[in-house]
Structure 1
């Protein structure tokens, strides 16, 4: 469960020297962009997929986030569907040799999986935050 410490947010609002905590209107959009689901400002990731310990803007604690393998399984299903049916369509329509399939579809599935992994994990974190507030 994501700890959303309201007393920390209230204390941050009261202190003039501290950063004010803004509430993000759409945590899902912030998660897809790799931003904090609460404020929409701080970075969510430290590296490619490693989640930061806390938000640098509002202080939301990310240490309790547990997405598991959810994003990876969804990404595999999406990429597999797109590439599988595209390869099937190309095979039925054009009948290319097998090496063309290997040259086209294997790199495409790798690129598609890597491109969708970070937004997918951000989305899962944002949905977890939105549904557990």
Structure 2
């Protein structure tokens, strides 16, 4: 069974797991298989990541937060310096893209690590 082991030795905390994509069981950097896609399982300790239901919960909040930061920065820059439009494009499009991708990775990893630490799982009908 893929439950937590008896000791917490080697298990990363929530913040390191989120920031570095660490497996919540062994601490290896095996959580992601792409930009923001989870690997099916840890290559080191074989923890099945597919059993966790993180979903796209962080995406909506993240988009709103990153969007607000980008809009505030763009309005401030426009009012302070009045740069040409191309400066806004070169500055804010990459920053928004990187902010969303990094935030999705961190948010999804944090939710998966929290589910693992609290032994959360899908609801099952008991007979």
TM-score by length of 1: 0.70
Instruction: Answer yes or no: is the 8 Å Cα contact 2:20–2:29 preserved in 1.
Output: no
Cα distance between partner residues in 2 of 1:98 and 1:53 = 43
Cα distance between partner residues in 1 of 2:85 and 2:18 = 39
Question: What aligned pairs does 1:48-127 form with structure 2 within 5 A after superposition?
Answer: 48-127=35-114
Q: Which runs of 4+ in 1 moved over 6 A?
A: none
Cα distance between partner residues in 2 of 1:104 and 1:5 = 45
Cα distance between partner residues in 1 of 2:99 and 2:29 = 26
Aligned residues: 120
* CA deviation map 1:55-86 (0-9, x unaligned): 23333221211111123223312321221111
Per-residue deviation, 1:87: 0.7
Per-residue deviation, 1:131: 3.2
Per-residue deviation, 1:43: 0.8
Q: Given the superposition, is the C-alpha separation of residues 130 and 5 from structure 1 closer, same or farther in structure 2, using an over 3 Å criterion? A: closer
Please say which of residues 79-88 and 41-50 is displaced more in the overlay: 41-50
Q: Given the superposition, is the C-alpha separation of residues 63 and 79 from structure 1 closer, same or farther in structure 2, using an over 3 Å criterion? A: same
TM-score by length of 2: 0.72
Q: What's the RMSD between the two structures over aligned residues? A: 2.8
Larger Rg: 1
Please say which of residues 100-109 and 78-87 is displaced more in the overlay: 100-109
Q: Given the superposition, is the C-alpha separation of residues 37 and 94 from structure 1 closer, same or farther in structure 2, using an over 3 Å criterion? A: same
Q: Given the superposition, is the C-alpha separation of residues 41 and 80 from structure 1 closer, same or farther in structure 2, using an over 3 Å criterion? A: same
